[in-house]
Structure 1
Amino acid sequence: MFFALSSLVLGVVLLVIVLGSCAIGVLVGRWLHGRHETWREPIGVVQGALLGFVALILAFGLTMAVGRYETRRVELVTETNAIGTTYLRAQTLSEPVRSQSLELLKNYTDGEIRLSTTRPGSAEARRVVADGGAIQRQLWTLAADSLREAPDASAPRLYVDSLNSMFDSQTSRVAALGNRVPTTVLVLEVVGASVALGLLGLYLTVLGRGLLPIMLAAVFVSLLLLVTFDLDRPTRGLITVPDTPLVELRASMNLPPAAGGG
């Protein structure tokens, strides 16, 4: 449910949840203030232990999100290199396979660039992947034709090898885009942070302290939650995986081919 929201709406929702919990804690604390003095120490112990537990959970979730973000960046670069190598080797093929393959590789790269802006798992993302699969089948058919025409030549064999690597890299990239932090972990972070900050508000109010520390803690935790969630939204959040390598590769394909056909 979190991934369907825009970053602005998500940030507002998280802030409202956390501030709402703090407000409930403050109201309960005002009701208890001066009435049940013996509750101060137990509440302080519980909220201290819970804050430590929530800090551990937040750190765990952030680590998972950062790891997945870095994996997506690596997979994008890997796919870019695979497409670039395939494009270069396609230039050594004989006509008409050479020209047809080069044009298909340009269209394929355009699709992979579009994949960088579509939400993983959405209908649009599935359509982009399906279009890429159709181009892959056309490229493989042309590669097979090239091998039949020159079974002993090295250029078609090298091209087929790089083409296979390109297909594999796309599969890995799509899998990395869809590999998110489990929703259970994210829900636990939100619920745990809300309860912990609610108890903090209750405890500080019972002690008669001001609201400023509670507000600062709520804003800080909300921002931390937003960053964790945003890192796990690789194509539409505030922190996206840059597709600069793919864009630069596609721009280089508009230049005249560096090698002539075999």
Structure 2
Amino acid sequence: MVLLLAVEGGYRLGVYRLRRSDQEYGPHVLALATATMGLLALILAFTFGLAATRFEARKQAVVDEANAIETTYLRAGLLPGDRGHKVRDMLREYVELRLDAVRLGNVEQALRRSEELHRELWKEAEAAARDQPSSTAVALFIESLNRAIELHATRVKVAVRGGIPGVLWAALFVIAVLNLAAVGYHAGLVRTRRSPTVATLVMGLSIVLMLIADLDHPQDGALRVSQQAMFDLRRTMGTMGD
């Protein structure tokens, strides 16, 4: 709607200027509008590329984290006593938290509980290291647990805290509005009737902007990062048991 209003406002301003002054030169205005369109295309390409890169990074983060959790789960079976059973229970809860955060949208709550589980898991790792300081199995478990915690931090940074900066969104929107206003202004100057092609331009630009927004917020729109790796991990945990 805002983009259509920009075109209409530019058109009316162009008609007004044509009535008031004969100094406006249509081809010159067209050249400026074309240059503005090129600038808009450049920013659109940059923003789309940034959003697509982040989307792919989010997909890869899910796979990497699932692999790290599975490795930690497997190595927990090497821990002495009932410590491995306790660790595996916490890892199952952790995976359920990850899936519930996506399904229910309770991201902040899930993050707080995830950090609590990290602390509890690390306490178990420390206790195991104290009990068996020279154990290779304990060292392998600590290595995989550390990797899982690191990937959690990476995923939060990329998937939850990351995103296209608001300044870039504002610049993109302002340039789009100015560009369409320039298109309408030129049409008003040359007394061109309102063409349906303008509507297609507005619709096409709107679709691209919505696509970029979907890529930037993959759990809120039509494009979603698949959590299949986490579902597979939950099923694998269920079949492994303790």
Q: Verify same fold: TM over 0.5.
A: yes
Pick from 113, 116, 136 the counterpart of residue 134 of structure 1.
116
Query: Is 2:42 aligned against 1:60?
Result: no
Where does residue 5 of structure 2 map in the other structure? 20
Q: Would the aligned equivalents of 1:116 and 1:241 in 2 still touch at CA under 8 Å?
A: no
Q: Flag structure 2 segments of 5+ consecutive residues without an equivalent.
A: none
Q: Would the aligned equivalents of 1:54 and 1:196 in 2 still touch at CA under 8 Å?
A: yes
Once the two structures are TM-superposed, the CA of residue 37 in structure 1 deviates from its matched residue by 4.9
Q: Would the aligned equivalents of 1:71 and 1:176 in 2 still touch at CA under 8 Å?
A: yes
Distance 1:199 1:213 in 2: 15
Where does residue 9 of structure 1 map in the other structure? none
Report the CA distance shift for 1:77/1:256 in structure 2 as closer, same or farther (over 3 A).
closer
| Per-residue Cα deviation, 1:137-189 (whole angstroms, up to 9, x for no partner) | 11112222222333333211111110111111100100112111111111111
| Per-residue Cα deviation, 1:184-205 (whole angstroms, up to 9, x for no partner) | 1111111101111111122124
Query: Is 2:140 aligned against 1:155?
Result: no
Query: Is 2:183 aligned against 1:197?
Result: no
Overall identity of the aligned pairs, in %: 25
Q: Secondary structure at the match of 1:237?
A: coil
RMSD after superposition: 1.9
Q: Secondary structure at the match of 1:105?
A: helix
Runs of 4+ in 1 over 6 A off after TM superposition: none
Query: Is 2:81 aligned against 1:95?
Result: yes
Distance 1:20 1:117 in 2: 37
- 213-222 vs 138-147, greater mean Cα deviation: 138-147
What TM-score results when the alignment is normalised by the length of structure 2?
Answer: 0.91
Q: Would the aligned equivalents of 1:34 and 1:206 in 2 still touch at CA under 8 Å?
A: no
Where does residue 164 of structure 2 map in the other structure? 181
Pick from 206, 210, 221 the counterpart of residue 237 of structure 1.
221
Q: Flag structure 1 segments of 5+ consecutive residues without an equivalent.
A: 1-15
Where does residue 215 of structure 1 map in the other structure? 199
Once the two structures are TM-superposed, the CA of residue 118 in structure 1 deviates from its matched residue by 6.8
- 21-30 vs 131-140, greater mean Cα deviation: 21-30
Q: Would the aligned equivalents of 1:91 and 1:98 in 2 still touch at CA under 8 Å?
A: yes
Distance 1:256 1:201 in 2: 65
Distance 1:230 1:192 in 2: 20
Q: Secondary structure at the match of 1:116?
A: helix
Q: Would the aligned equivalents of 1:72 and 1:176 in 2 still touch at CA under 8 Å?
A: yes
- The AA in structure 2 aligned to 1:186 is W
Q: Secondary structure at the match of 2:129?
A: helix
Once the two structures are TM-superposed, the CA of residue 33 in structure 1 deviates from its matched residue by 5.2
Once the two structures are TM-superposed, the CA of residue 249 in structure 1 deviates from its matched residue by 0.6
Where does residue 247 of structure 1 map in the other structure? 231
- The AA in structure 2 aligned to 1:183 is G
Report the CA distance shift for 1:188/1:118 in structure 2 as closer, same or farther (over 3 A).
farther
Number of residue pairs matched? 239
Report the CA distance shift for 1:256/1:76 in structure 2 as closer, same or farther (over 3 A).
closer
Q: Secondary structure at the match of 1:179?
A: coil
Q: Secondary structure at the match of 1:240?
A: coil
Distance 2:155 2:100 in 1: 13
Where does residue 29 of structure 2 map in the other structure? 43
Distance 1:45 1:118 in 2: 50
- The AA in structure 1 aligned to 2:215 is L
Once the two structures are TM-superposed, the CA of residue 94 in structure 1 deviates from its matched residue by 2.4
Distance 2:103 2:60 in 1: 17
Distance 2:23 2:199 in 1: 26
Distance 2:103 2:14 in 1: 47
Once the two structures are TM-superposed, the CA of residue 226 in structure 1 deviates from its matched residue by 1.1
Where does residue 105 of structure 1 map in the other structure? 91
- The AA in structure 1 aligned to 2:39 is F
- The AA in structure 2 aligned to 1:82 is A
Q: Secondary structure at the match of 2:98?
A: helix
Distance 2:22 2:45 in 1: 34
